[in-house]
């Protein structure tokens, strides 16, 4: 049960959450309404190693100022199970591997968890704070959807709604003059993310690749099949890049007789591809092929002289990738 | 009723005490600088000073009340990074303030009260090279000796910096010894590392690109005339020419696109149409004009006719890409011909010419023509920017204050920027008159070591998919 896996889902959600706020800027205007300065509000993930913060933020010990403002920091503060989004745990889904299209991977349904985030904003003056808050709130109604590639190996992209739960404001302006004013707003968010278990590879062998249907006649003691149909998937495009010959003339989208350099390697009643179009070879006369254009739902297009003509053979059938369209071999009867 | 036979403080006695205090401060004190705040912009109702400037600094002797170190909590790590919560209590002479600083402040525009030290003003404390903000002025300590008060006690905290202009003209205050002006860009250990800055990549001197024509060819494609622009393209389609006879060479071309045309065939203004064909190689040896076809690009219907001829310009090689180009230079062919050749130059983001493609290969050349590429139309940069001077964009009118200047890499860092500079404009220094052309802008607050905006953005680029936008989740 406990094999190692780590999809970095929590980390990715944290980074995704952070991106929402990294382009906020504030403007200051003078009395005649001219922009005086534009500040892009610095944002960082709050928790950090203490020594690292000291080394990076105070390389020279004599910090000339207390802090620069405004600043924003965000923090991952809680994780809770979300039963409203639960699906059957025995359900799996198959997907082709992103790196190797021929491999099929299997993963169980993820478990839904809510990540709680806090975004803290500290400003020197209220005007800055109101500018920042107004740029954030309209996007959350009350949620904003982020599409995050949660599990890279299977290319699983999920919409993660980020819900703005509440806003608390702290403004310590009262009191004696020895205490500092702290103007801090805290926005609490919930990111509805999904946690995936381990991804198992090599699930391709479990895929049905041949269907056989047998008919038995006679009484119930009869066991031999009298009639059998079987069908196998065939490729609808060329995978192994097998160039048979080249076009010897420009052809338009409507031409059905096409001339090639050498038609020897092109069998009759087979499929060929030119650019993105698949054609059916109905007849062959020397180097002139009579074809059916735009087969397998491709689009008829003009092709330039010299374009490679690729054949679709049984070698291509073995290379059909997970998720691709495919045809059927027709029935073979025995 | 007080005893009239005793004097509880005469002006002479009071003056004596004040003089003694002044003398003590001058013996035991530290020279600090008093920076009065100028209120540039103030908000009413939610009353705040939106913009402040500190343009004056007056030295005054002060006694450090907290002699065993700064008060308060010292350095702490907070949600918002490291904060220095140092306090400092200073005592200054009342008389010295009133007869000296007070008189000078009266002349300052946008100042407020002048008769006393005021909260919000800054104190530059030279021992720590730090700026403190006065948060409270205590005027009754010690309490009415000989019926008068002689000192102000200033309770200060370290300054919280935003975008205040600190431009006092005193070098070590404005620029804590780091902007040495040698232009090597090492000026980054002072207060400026805390300011929000914009980095401008400027151009020094541009150089003109050169190119040459390989040969004069016969039976090559002169130009391609578009007979149907087609529609529905999302990217430029590949251009195919019919093969040339064996002894020749097939032409190679690229489609140039046009967008924004809306008609019945194509209601989507974002879709592109074929506008022309540029030749990177006109080919040669054709005896009849080749057919032209357009493949891919997501659309269809484009058609074109190629024209061939003799004595045309062959492949153009860029011999020197030059530098400093902001816009495509013009390309001129110098030579005798019945029809002169024409070409388009392509430039890289770094500003040099990378490729020249023929729009018309000419006709009837008997000798290889010369190619003239226009020079980069930039001002040759001169001068050295001065720390804290105001620089202005010549076209945008945007201003900023110089924080760093590196003469070698031509990188200028400015703060307190009022808008967006426009690439191509000249950046002019108000005091130094230094002028350079702007190539590119990088809005960068990474000088603030707290900020992780760019890091977050870079990491997120790999995992976020903004191509799928939820139409219901946006404002």
A16 interaction partners in chain B (CB closer than 8 Å): 460, 463-464
- Smallest CA–CA distance, residue B461 to chain A, in Å, is 9
Q: Are B178 and B189 in contact (CB under 8 A)?
A: yes
- Smallest CA–CA distance, residue B201 to chain A, in Å, is 19
Higher-confidence residue: B445 or A226? Answer: A226
- What confidence score (pLDDT) does residue A128 get? 92
- Smallest CA–CA distance, residue A52 to chain B, in Å, is 11
Mean pLDDT of B313-334: 85
Q: How confident is the model at residue B270 (pLDDT cuts 50, 70, 90)?
A: confident
- What confidence score (pLDDT) does residue B417 get? 80
From residue B55, alpha-carbon distances to A125, B19, B130, B188 in Å are 21, 30, 17, 22
CB contacts < 8 A (A, B): 237
- What confidence score (pLDDT) does residue A263 get? 85
Query: Of A197-206, B230-239, B465-474, which has the strongest mean pLDDT?
Result: B230-239
- What confidence score (pLDDT) does residue B94 get? 94
Where are any strands of DSSP class E within B188-299? 197-203, 210-213, 216-231, 238-241, 252-259, 272-281, 291-295
- What confidence score (pLDDT) does residue B186 get? 44
Residues A259-288: tens digit of each pLDDT: 888 888 888 888 888 888 888 998 888 888
DSSP secondary structure code for residue A181 in this structure: P
A303 interaction partners in chain B (CB closer than 8 Å): 293, 295
* Residue position matching structure tokens 């008829």: A300
Nearest to B449 among A36, A57, A70 (CB): A57
Task: For chain B, give the number of residues.
Answer: 475
Mean pLDDT of A182-191: 94
B194 interaction partners in chain A (CB closer than 8 Å): 64-65, 68
Mean pLDDT of A106-127: 93
Say yes or no to pLDDT of B44 above 50.
Answer: yes
- What confidence score (pLDDT) does residue B448 get? 67
- Smallest CA–CA distance, residue B125 to chain A, in Å, is 10
Say yes or no to pLDDT of B194 above 70.
Answer: no
A306 close to B (CB below 8 A):
yes
Nearest to B160 among A67, A148, A276 (CB): A67
Say yes or no to pLDDT of B189 above 70.
Answer: no
Does B466 sit within 8 Å of A147, measured CB to CB?
yes
- What confidence score (pLDDT) does residue B378 get? 63
Encoded tokens for B80: 């918002």
Say yes or no to pLDDT of B430 above 70.
Answer: yes
- Smallest CA–CA distance, residue B377 to chain A, in Å, is 30
- Smallest CA–CA distance, residue A262 to chain B, in Å, is 17
Does B161 sit within 8 Å of A39, measured CB to CB?
no
A303 close to B (CB below 8 A):
yes
Share of chain B above pLDDT 70, in %: 91
Query: Of A29-43, A85-99, A215-229, B84-98, which has the strongest mean pLDDT?
Result: B84-98
Mean pLDDT of A6-18: 92
- What confidence score (pLDDT) does residue B187 get? 43
Nearest to A57 among B82, B136, B241 (CB): B82
Residues B147-180: tens digit of each pLDDT: 899 999 999 998 888 888 888 888 777 765 444 4
- Smallest CA–CA distance, residue B13 to chain A, in Å, is 33
- What are the extents of the domains in chain A? 9-195, 241-312
Does A178 sit within 8 Å of B136, measured CB to CB?
yes
Where are any strands of DSSP class E within B232-374? 238-241, 252-259, 272-281, 291-295, 300-313, 316-320, 330-334, 342-347, 353-360, 370-373
A36 close to B (CB below 8 A):
yes
Q: Partners of A201 in the beta sheet?
A: none
Does B450 sit within 8 Å of A44, measured CB to CB?
yes
- What confidence score (pLDDT) does residue A333 get? 61
B96 CB-near residues (< 8 Å, 6+ apart): B22, B25, B60, B61
Does B464 sit within 8 Å of A146, measured CB to CB?
yes
Residues A152-182: tens digit of each pLDDT: 888 888 889 999 999 999 998 888 887 778 8
A129 interaction partners in chain B (CB closer than 8 Å): none
> Taking the CB of residue A295, how many other CB atoms lie within 10 A of it?
19
Mean pLDDT of B439-448: 66
Q: How confident is the model at residue A60 (pLDDT cuts 50, 70, 90)?
A: confident
- Which of A281-287's residues contact partners 24+ apart within 8 Å by CB, and which partners? A287/A248, A287/A259, A287/A260, A287/A261, A287/A262, A287/A263
Q: Partners of B53 in the beta sheet?
A: B38, B165
| Lowest-confidence pick of B107-111, B217-221, B444-448 | B444-448
Higher-confidence residue: B443 or A166? Answer: A166
Q: How confident is the model at residue B443 (pLDDT cuts 50, 70, 90)?
A: low
Say yes or no to pLDDT of B129 above 90.
Answer: no
Say yes or no to pLDDT of B365 above 60.
Answer: yes
Choose from A37, A121, A162 for mutation: most chain B CBs within 10 A. A37
B465 interaction partners in chain A (CB closer than 8 Å): 147-149, 157
- What confidence score (pLDDT) does residue A54 get? 86
- What confidence score (pLDDT) does residue A331 get? 62
- What confidence score (pLDDT) does residue B1 get? 84
Higher-confidence residue: A119 or A182? Answer: A119
Say yes or no to pLDDT of A68 above 80.
Answer: yes
- What confidence score (pLDDT) does residue A98 get? 67
- What confidence score (pLDDT) does residue A63 get? 75
Closest chain B residue to A61, measured at CA: B128
| Lowest-confidence pick of B128-142, B280-294, B408-422 | B408-422
Does A145 sit within 8 Å of B161, measured CB to CB?
no
- CATH superfamily, region A9-195: Myoviridae tail sheath stabiliser (3.30.2000.40)
- What is the overall mean pLDDT for chain B? 83
Higher-confidence residue: A330 or B53? Answer: B53
Cα–Cα distance between A70 and B407 in angstroms, integer?
Answer: 31
- What confidence score (pLDDT) does residue B61 get? 95
Q: How confident is the model at residue B181 (pLDDT cuts 50, 70, 90)?
A: very low
Q: Which ipTM was obtained for this model?
A: 0.70
| Lowest-confidence pick of A137-146, A203-212, A299-308, B29-38 | A203-212
Does A178 sit within 8 Å of B189, measured CB to CB?
no
Say yes or no to pLDDT of B234 above 60.
Answer: yes
| Lowest-confidence pick of A56-65, A120-129, B208-217 | A56-65
- What are the extents of the domains in chain B? 11-192, 199-204+380-448, 210-373
User: φ, ψ for residue B458 (rounded to 5)?
Assistant: -65, -45
Please give the model's pTM, rounded to 2 decimal places: 0.70
Nearest to A18 among B443, B456, B474 (CB): B456
Say yes or no to pLDDT of B188 above 50.
Answer: no
Say yes or no to pLDDT of B279 above 80.
Answer: yes
The CATH number corresponding to A241-312 among 2.40.30, 2.30.30, 3.30.1050, 2.60.120 equals 2.40.30
CA-wise closest residue to A213 among A224, A201, A229: A229
- What confidence score (pLDDT) does residue A27 get? 87
Higher-confidence residue: A63 or A86? Answer: A86
Q: What is the CA radius of gyration of chain B?
A: 35
Say yes or no to pLDDT of B431 above 90.
Answer: no
Is the previous residue joined to A3 through a cis bond, with omega within 30 degrees of 0? Answer: no
DSSP secondary structure code for residue B127 in this structure: T
B392 interaction partners in chain A (CB closer than 8 Å): none
Q: Are B216 and B314 in contact (CB under 8 A)?
A: yes
CA-wise closest residue to B415 among B205, B122, B204, B187: B187
Mean pLDDT of B239-260: 84
Higher-confidence residue: B445 or A127? Answer: A127
Cα–Cα distance between A155 and A148 in angstroms, integer?
Answer: 10
A28 interaction partners in chain B (CB closer than 8 Å): 41, 50-51, 163
- Which of B67-73's residues contact partners 24+ apart within 8 Å by CB, and which partners? B72/B157
């Amino acid at each position: 049960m406990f094999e190692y896996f780590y999809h970095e889902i929590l980390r990715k959600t944290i980074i995704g959450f952070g991106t929402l706020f990294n382009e906020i800027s504030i403007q200051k205007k003078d009395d005649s309404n001219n922009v005086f300065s534009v500040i892009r509000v610095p944002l960082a993930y709050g928790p950090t190693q203490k020594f690292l913060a000291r080394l990076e933020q105070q390389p020279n010990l004599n910090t000339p100022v207390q802090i620069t403002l405004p600043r924003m920091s965000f923090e991952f503060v809680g994780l809770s199970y979300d039963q409203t989004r639960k699906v059957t745990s025995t359900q799996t889904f198959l997907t082709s591997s992103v790196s190797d299209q021929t491999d099929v991977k299997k993963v169980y349904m993820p478990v839904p968890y809510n990540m709680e985030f806090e975004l803290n904003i500290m400003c020197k003056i209220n005007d800055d704070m109101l500018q920042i808050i107004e740029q954030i709130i309209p996007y959350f109604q009350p949620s904003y959807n982020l599409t995050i590639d949660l599990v890279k190996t299977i290319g699983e992209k999920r919409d993660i709604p980020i819900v703005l739960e509440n806003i608390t404001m702290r403004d310590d302006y009262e009191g004696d003059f020895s205490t500092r004013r702290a103007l801090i707003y805290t926005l609490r968010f919930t990111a509805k993310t999904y946690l995936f278990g381990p991804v198992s590879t090599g699930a391709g062998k479990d895929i049905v690749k041949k269907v056989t249907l047998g008919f038995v006649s006679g009484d119930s003691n009869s066991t031999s099949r009298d009639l059998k149909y079987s069908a196998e998937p065939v490729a609808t495009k060329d995978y192994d890049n097998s160039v048979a010959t080249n076009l010897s003339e420009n052809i338009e989208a409507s031409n059905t007789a096409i001339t090639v350099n050498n038609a020897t390697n092109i069998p009759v009643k087979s499929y060929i591809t030119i650019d993105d179009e698949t054609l059916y070879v109905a007849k062959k006369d020397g180097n002139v092929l009579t074809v059916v254009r735009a087969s397998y739902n491709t689009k008829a297009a003009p092709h330039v002289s010299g374009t490679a003509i690729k054949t679709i053979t049984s070698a291509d059938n073995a290379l059909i990738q997970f998720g691709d369209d495919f045809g059927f071999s027709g029935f073979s009867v025995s | 009723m007080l005893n009239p036979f005793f004097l509880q403080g005469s002006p002479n006695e009071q003056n004596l005490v004040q003089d003694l205090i002044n003398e003590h401060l001058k013996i035991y004190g530290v020279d600090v600088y008093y920076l009065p705040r100028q209120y540039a912009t103030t908000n009413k109702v939610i009353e705040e000073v939106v913009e402040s400037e500190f343009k004056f600094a007056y030295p005054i002797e002060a006694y450090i009340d907290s002699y065993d170190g700064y008060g308060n909590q010292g350095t702490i790590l907070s949600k918002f990074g490291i904060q220095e919560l140092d306090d400092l209590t200073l005592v200054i002479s009342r008389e010295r303030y009133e007869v000296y600083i007070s008189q000078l402040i009266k002349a300052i525009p946008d100042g407020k009260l002048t008769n006393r030290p005021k909260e919000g003003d800054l104190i530059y404390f030279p021992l720590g090279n730090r700026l403190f903000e006065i948060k409270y002025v205590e005027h009754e300590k010690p309490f009415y000796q000989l019926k008068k008060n002689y000192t102000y006690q200033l309770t200060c905290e370290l300054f919280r910096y935003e975008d205040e202009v600190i431009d006092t003209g005193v070098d070590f205050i404005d620029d804590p010894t780091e902007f040495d002006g040698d232009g090597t860009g090492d000026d980054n250990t002072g207060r400026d590392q805390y300011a929000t800055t914009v980095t401008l990549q400027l151009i020094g001197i541009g150089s003109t690109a050169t190119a040459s024509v390989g040969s004069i060819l016969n039976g090559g494609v002169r130009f391609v005339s578009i007979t149907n622009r087609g529609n529905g393209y999302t990217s430029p389609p590949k251009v195919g020419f019919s093969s040339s006879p064996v002894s020749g060479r097939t032409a190679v071309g690229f489609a140039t696109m046009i967008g924004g045309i809306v008609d019945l065939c194509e209601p989507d203004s974002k879709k592109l149409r074929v506008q022309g064909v540029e030749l990177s190689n006109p080919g040669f040896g054709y005896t009849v004009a080749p057919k032209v076809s357009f493949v891919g690009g997501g659309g269809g219907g484009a058609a074109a006719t190629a024209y061939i001829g003799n004595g045309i310009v062959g492949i153009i090689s860029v011999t020197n890409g030059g530098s400093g180009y902001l816009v495509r230079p013009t390309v001129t062919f110098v030579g005798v011909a019945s029809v002169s050749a024409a070409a388009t130059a392509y430039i890289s983001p770094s500003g040099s010419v990378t490729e020249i493609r023929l729009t018309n290969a000419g006709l009837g050349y008997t000798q290889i023509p010369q190619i003239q590429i226009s020079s980069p139309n930039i001002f040759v940069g001169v001068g050295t920017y001065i720390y804290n001077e105001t620089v202005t964009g010549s076209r945008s009118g945007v201003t900023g204050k110089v924080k760093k200047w590196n003469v070698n890499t031509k990188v200028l860092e400015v703060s307190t920027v009022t808008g967006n500079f426009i690439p191509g404009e000249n950046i002019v220094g108000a005091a130094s008159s230094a002028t350079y052309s702007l190539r590119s802008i990088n809005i960068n607050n990474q000088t603030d070591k707290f900020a992780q905006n760019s890091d977050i953005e870079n990491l997120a680029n790999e995992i976020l998919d903004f191509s799928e936008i939820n139409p219901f989740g946006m404002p």
